[in-house]
Amino acid sequence: MTTTYVLRGARPLGGDAADVVLADGVISQIAAPGTVDVPGGAEVVEIAAEGHVLLPGLVDLHTHLREPGREDAETVASGTRAAAAGGFTAVHAMANTSPVADTAGVVEQVWRLGQEAGWVDVHPVGAVTVGLGGERLAELGAMADSAARVRVFSDDGKCVHDPILMRRALEYVKAFDGVVAQHAQEPRLTEGAQMNEGVVSAEIGLAGWPAVAEEAIIARDVLLAEHVGSRLHVCHLSTAGSVEIVRWAKGRGIDVTAEVTPHHLILTDELARTYDPTYKVNPPLRTAADVEAVREGLADGTIDIVATDHAPHTREDKDCEWGAAAFGMTGLETALSVVQQTMVDTGRLTWADVARVLSANPARIGRIDAGPAAQGRPVAVGEPANLTLVDPAATRAVDGAAQATASGNTPFAGRDLPGRVVATFLRGRATVLDGAPVGPAADTRRLAARGGAR
């Protein structure tokens, strides 16, 4: 029997309070508080939601789930559990697994693991090149036609640096309305690089990662996308110059979209002075001026979405000297709070804007905004009940060891962040209630027995 949920006094997109009824996987009623018609005989679970903001379920276009191959750092089950805890109802799983997700067989494996876990919808991202090697195109058409119906392709972690190969990929994905998501990093300009190139890198003696290494690839690729008439998505944009290039390209009518990560909205390269490898990430943390530029780019629509680039690692891969440490940090469970702190609480975005950059736009870019399993839809009667209920007045101290992800490498450990995900619903089924995951019991037992990789 399907449970009916009544959210009393919830505020859709931060607006007026309403009672919202979820039944049979959809939003069945939205009415003034105390006036909803609850179906007779239904099991009703009431959530004290007065003052809580109701958003469409969040959609992440850039998640690393590590499975297959690095289950010691994360699994599809643990990563999607973390996603649900963070308010997400869909994630796109990056291709840099082992084996690489460059065939129909591997993307279907990841897709089925997501279905079995049941926390969120998992949409695999297919590799652009075989083995992420940058030498020949992967089976793009086969992955697109597979049960996973891949529409986003990326060699994330590596740049498709060969312009001829990049052009061919852009041409190929046009046949099925796909998009190439580029990791913009000119490899010859970043060889041996450890952090942002600038005053801090010079003072502390770490090899610098110049902004132009990102900007040069973006400039090249927007022109290639214009030339072939294809869609281009820029992953984890991080510099002021990159914002300006994307702004120029959009003004020219080029079909380009871009993402910024939560950590690039708030953290700067000054943190490298600690030599704490928690802050080692690709692309690197940039300057305060870059942080201001990406915030402005997100506010004015130049940057389309916020994507987590959730990158879990084992303790061994991060608890070491800076030079030997892996790049990356977790982000699924803190993304919404960082966006609230940097963009909503500062008046740069409304909660309706948050729904746009964390749900509607990523679903549209990933082409998962239509059909029976549509994501990123409005909070309206008849729409799928993929929803996130947030208490914006709450404050929480981040504890990496207490997160749902199997890895604890969060850059926000010990920090107080605003906002708390109170509940998450996937097609009307609760995956989080009262701030705690409530997914399949078997999965919960498996996670507890494994103990994670903290």
Report whether 312 contacts 409 (CB < 8 A): yes
* Rounded Cα gap, residues 326 and 316, in angstroms: 9
Report whether 82 contacts 404 (CB < 8 A): yes
| Other C-beta atoms lying within 10 Å of the C-beta of residue 237 | 29
Q: Does the annotation mark 145 as catalytic?
A: no
User: Residues 309, 317, 353, 443: which is the catalytic one?
Assistant: 309
Q: What is the domain count for the chain?
A: 2
Report whether 322 contacts 277 (CB < 8 A): yes
Do 274 and 207 lie in one domain? The reply is yes
Do 254 and 343 lie in one domain? The reply is yes
Tokens representing residue 432 in the block: 């989080």
Q: Which of 314, 336, 365 is the last residue of a domain?
A: 365
Q: Which of 31, 51, 71 is the last residue of a domain?
A: 51
- In a domain, residue 439? The reply is no
| Other C-beta atoms lying within 10 Å of the C-beta of residue 394 | 15
pLDDT at 2: 66
Do 100 and 114 lie in one domain? The reply is yes
pLDDT at 42: 64
pLDDT at 252: 97
**What's 39's domain CATH number?**
2.30.40.10
Name the stretches of the chain with pLDDT < 50.
1, 441-454
Containing domain of residue 296, as a range?
55-365
* pTM reported for the whole predicted model: 0.95
- Which residues, including other chains, have CB under 8 Å from residue 188's CB and lie 6 or more apart? none
Report whether 101 contacts 125 (CB < 8 A): yes
**What's 118's domain CATH number?**
3.20.20.140
| Other C-beta atoms lying within 10 Å of the C-beta of residue 9 | 18
* Rounded Cα gap, residues 296 and 125, in angstroms: 28
Inter-axis angle of helices 441-450 and 76-85, nearest 10: 110
Q: Which amino acid is at 199?
A: V
pLDDT at 51: 85
Q: Which amino acid is at 297?
A: G
* Rounded Cα gap, residues 199 and 167, in angstroms: 36
* Rounded Cα gap, residues 450 and 286, in angstroms: 36
* Rounded Cα gap, residues 451 and 454, in angstroms: 8
Report whether 35 contacts 27 (CB < 8 A): no
Which of helix, strand or coil describes residue 136? coil
> How far apart, in Å, are the Cα atoms of 352 and each of 144, 181, 298, 419?
32, 26, 14, 16
Tokens representing residue 12 in the block: 């859709």
Do 95 and 46 lie in one domain? The reply is no
Which DSSP state fits 414? T
- In a domain, residue 8? The reply is yes
Do 70 and 21 lie in one domain? The reply is no
